[in-house]
Structure 1
Amino acid sequence: MRREHSTVVVGARSTVVALLLTVALLVGLVLGVSVGSTFVPPGQVWSIVAGHLLGRAPAPGTPDLIVWQLRVPRALLAAVVGAGLGLVGSAVQALVRNPLADPYLLGVSSGASLGAVAVIVLGAGTGGLLGLGLSTGAFLGALGAFALVWALARRGNGFSPLRLVLTGVGIGQFLAGLTSYLVLRTSDEQQTRGVLFWLMGSLNGAQWSVVVLPAVAVVLGFVVLQARARALNALLVGDETAAGLGVDVTRLRRELLVVTSVLTGVLVAVSGAIGFVGLMVPHVCRLVVGGDHRRLLPISALAGAVLLVVVDILARIALDQQEVPIGVVTALIGAPTLLYLLDRRLERS
């Protein structure tokens, strides 16, 4: 009886949290479109967006170009990337059975960064390396890193958490070294600044064509992960227990590795490597709504979207005439949060 009551309480709390996060996300999106070098009143933002959705021509004198072509895609991309990082963080933490694991733990982001930097540095002035664009290079780099992790981690008896972590960390450090070498090769100061800015995370190149792919990837990733929520719950209690409950642990880990790697690669390709979001969002959400992935996954997605929309606003207004890389802001927020969470865990243990 007490267990049923506790389940009802947690379910009601999750519903309330989801509603609050949805409202916060809508408010954040409107503010993200309103705030900038030219302030656009929220009422005018709604009017312009509604006009485009309903097929009406923009009124003369309205900042239609700024709102619809520049700021709306950027705000939506921030929400999509944040939601994706929250999802991937929750899945990776279940995959390696560590609540302080990070989406970039498997080395995929390092591969994406290497691919992007190779396009920028080696393809400068030639339209990109082998004709590839920045996002394409980053995505191919992510897939290459994933292939290395897959080939090395599956040797022996399946995908153990320790093998996955050690393989991902090792490959990530190796690829990060190659990335640093490529950065040192360039003698163009402006190009170097551009590479470093991208490596620290940026949504500066957001446009409607860029938003579509990550949005589709995040929706599909959420559907796949949510369908495996019960299996993720079983995985947390140990491989033997999960197998006893009818979960094919090896197959589940393989599926999680594919989904998280591809999704991380897509996100890094459009936004650069943004740290700490996938680390702290699932952990904080787990403290609020519990560890049941049926609730944790959607709440983590909403919380990640809200966080990155707010962080993007701060990155744009923190300095006059200059945008701060998003990774800098997330690090300033995430590092103290991580230390606080670690302190709480040590006190409990």
Structure 2
Amino acid sequence: MDFTQLTSRRHLRWQRTIIWMVVVMLVVSGVYLMVGELFINPFGQLSSLENQLITQLRLPRLLAALAIGASLAVSGAVLQVLLGNVLAEPGVLGISGGASVMMVILLFFFPLLATPIGFMCAAVAGAMLFTLTIVSMTKALRLTTTRLLLIGVALGILASSVVTWAFYFSDDMSLRILMYWLMGSIGGASWYQHILTLITLPVLLWLCFQGSTLDKLMMGEMHAKQLGLDVDAVRWKLILAVSVLVGGAVALGGVISFIGLVVPHLLRLALGSENRYLIPISALAGATLLVFADIVARTALDAAELPLGVVTTTIGAPIFVWMLVKNHDAR
């Protein structure tokens, strides 16, 4: 079998995976709309209550899960290329924490601006500040995986300390909002909040078409420049895009970790590292995984609802430990 045939078969496998991921996402989304405290039969006549339950509660929540999952997975895939590190992820590196810190500052010092758009702008600013800090230190100091993770953990701890101080000085209403962000939840998702989705969706689609650019970056800066790529300009665009996605995800659903770590890494192991396919498949897989996680969060307990961030951490933490051990053994 010659090289052309191998390439054709590999591309066919990627394309089949995209089709299967779309099918799986649609099936899981359909199940999401059916299950809950009240099961809705999709083949029966919907009552007024069931129709209202779907349109006002489950559907906006489903769209929030799809948007957040896709945004975090794509952000993780792009960060792994930008930093040259398979363990890079917005939550692990403290970028999501930076977004939440800026939202806390907005809530306490500029309450009149505490609207979905205001929170989005604050979250994007915080995510960009932390992303720039990490990318700059990685490039300037040529950080190893261990040092990069330590810096990310330190930034995450710094963000958590700011939120903890906010807890101490907050009133009851602010405390509930802070808990919502800290634990990760889309229980309060509404159609009004999907203004944020309309902002992040074009950025998400743009990144899905940057696969060839990311492939060049993976070859190293020198090779990328020789291929005609303006590395500095591209890096700025990617940092801004990641900041918008992470900021939008945090503003919509709080701090939800490990989606951006688990999804692209496992896809790379299973399928390869061609970013023109990996990025859109990561979006589909991340969206599907978060919808599934929210099904678990809504249905695991009879009398209560689990925080979504706790469910994703339970899924992602063991995989993260395995990745750390695997990365250490590979050295």
TM-score by length of 1: 0.83
Aligned residue among 98, 104, 107 for 2:85: 98
Give the residue type in structure 2 aligned to 1:177: S
Matched, 1:140 2:122: yes
- Between the aligned partners of 2:283 and 2:162, the Cα distance in structure 1 is 32
Distance 1:169 1:22, change over 3 A: same
Alignment of 1:170-185 (within 5 A): 172-185=156-169
In structure 2, what is the Cα distance between the partners aligned to 1:161 and 1:142?
Answer: 26
Alignment root-mean-square deviation, CA: 3.1
Runs of 5+ consecutive residues of structure 2 not aligned to the other structure: none
Aligned residue runs from structure 1 range 1-349, under 5 A: 2-44=2-44, 61=48, 63-104=50-91, 107-118=94-105, 122=108, 129-133=111-115, 136-137=118-119, 139-147=121-129, 150=132, 162=143, 172-186=156-170, 188=172, 192=175, 194-218=177-201, 220-349=202-331
Deviation at 1:255, TM superposition (A): 1.0
Which is further off, 27-36 or 222-231? 222-231
Q: Secondary structure at the match of 2:43?
A: helix
Q: Pick which of 65-74 and 5-14 moved more.
A: 5-14
- Percent identical: 34
In the TM superposition, residue 181 of structure 1 has moved relative to its aligned partner by: 1.1
Distance 2:77 2:22 in 1: 19
Structure 2 distance, partners of 1:171, 1:346, is: 23
1:154 Cα deviation after fit: 6.0
Quote the Cα distance in structure 2 between the aligned partners of 1:170 and 1:344.
Answer: 23
Cα deviation digits, residues 124-162 of structure 1 (max 9, x gap) = xxxx8135236633541431452475489669x987874
Q: Provide TM-score, normalisation by structure 2.
A: 0.87
Give the CA deviation at 1:222.
3.1
Aligned to 1:53: none
The one-letter code sitting in structure 1 at the alignment partner of 2:252 is V
CA distance in 1, matches of 2:259, 2:135: 25
- Whether the aligned pair in 1 keeps the contact of 2:33 and 2:59 (CA below 8 Å) is yes
The question of whether the paired residues in 2 share the 8 Å contact of 1:111 and 1:138 is answered with: no
Q: Which structure: larger Rg?
A: 1
1:134–1:117 CA distance, 2 compared to 1 (3 A): farther
Cα-to-partner distance string for 1:87-124 (whole Å, 9 max, x where unaligned): 1111111110111100246644223212333466x48x
SS at match of 2:189: coil
Amino acid paired to 1:8: S
Q: Which runs of 5+ in 1 are unaligned?
A: 49-59
Amino acid at match of 1:6: L
